[in-house]
Structure 1
């Protein structure tokens, strides 16, 4: 089954408003519960990151990491990943490691204490 991608601005805005965020030097991860729509992913790479070829390469790497490791992310959540300038030049393994650690931190942050 294909990975569902967020494309509409209003979906991204909802995740930014309602979601929890965690960050590393190269990535920012937002997680927000959705209404039973499964896992949906959104990717954002700013023009400050570089020219289109560079931005698209970073986006493709992030999309492939998420496709291969969907189990890292909680079910019924929207996930938005923002790449920072430091993501440029990093390889698949480096970005995957950072994303894995961000998902663990986000999961701890979202679990209710008690």
Structure 2
């Protein structure tokens, strides 16, 4: 995923957390906030509760790949943050993809209702 599609600064994360809308399932939480750009940006948060660095990085890489694949299905002009929950590290890639795509589908419906 290119750097322009990633949230980098703490200020950007805080803005999405405080002003955005959120949805959750058993394995992840997603936050979304309109960003006034013509493309979407993503942020990922994987806590130390999930495991050591190797495990956290593996989860983060999987989340990035899922977002890269489903980026076309998301509305442009939004910032998204995906927070991994405990238990996601035990899933295989397809299960992670299903969990995130379900959240993406639900957040897309929620943002469409909001507008």
2:55 equivalent in structure 1: 54
Show structure 1 runs of 5+ residues with no match: none
**Please, what TM-score do these two structures have when normalized by structure 2?**
0.91
**Please, what TM-score do these two structures have when normalized by structure 1?**
0.92
Matched, 1:86 2:75: no
Q: 1:87, CA displacement in angstroms? A: 0.7
- 1:92-107 matched pairs, under 5 angstroms: 92-107=93-108
1:39 equivalent in structure 2: 40
Moved over 3 A (4+): none
Q: Secondary structure at the match of 1:49?
A: coil
1:2 equivalent in structure 2: 2
- Contact 1:72 1:100 (C-alpha < 8 Å) held by counterparts: no
Show structure 2 runs of 5+ residues with no match: none
Q: Secondary structure at the match of 1:111?
A: helix
Q: 1:2, CA displacement in angstroms? A: 2.7
